[in-house]
């Protein structure tokens, strides 16, 4: 609500504002990554799947979970 109660900024309020080189590079990398992952996410999803395939159960641990107790609602 407070942002609507302030006077409107003048036309040249942010004319002299510039971001630095590192900030510009970070924005460019972020935009490129967003577009790449938004248009073609398959490569990242395949990488995650192949990375997860190498995970397994630790030695000595059981793979099966104990049976779940369900209530009958009575």
Q: Give per-residue burial for 6-20: e unless 16+ CB within 10 Å, then b.
A: eeeeeeeeeeeeeee
pLDDT (tens, 9 = 90+) of the chain, 74 residues, equals 667 778 887 888 888 889 999 999 999 999 999 998 889 888 888 888 888 887 876 676 665 666 667 766 55
Residue 66 is predicted with a pLDDT of: 65
φ, ψ for residue 14, nearest 5 deg: -115, 25
* Domains of the chain, residue spans: 21-46
1, two tokens? 């609500």
- What pLDDT is attached to residue 61? 64
Element (H, E) at 33: helix 21-39
8 A C-beta contact, residue 24 and residue 18: no
Residue 1 pLDDT: 62
pLDDT of residue 21: 96
Give, in degrees to the nearest 5, the angle at Cα 25 between 22 and 26: 85
């Amino acid at each position: 609500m407070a942002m609507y109660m302030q006077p409107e900024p003048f036309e040249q309020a942010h004319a002299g504002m510039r971001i630095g080189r590192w900030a510009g590079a970070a924005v460019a990398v972020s935009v490129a990554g967003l577009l790449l992952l938004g248009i073609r996410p398959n490569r990242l999803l395949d990488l995650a799947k192949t990375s997860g395939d190498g995970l397994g159960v630790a030695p000595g641990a059981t793979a099966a979970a104990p049976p779940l107790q369900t209530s009958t609602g009575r």
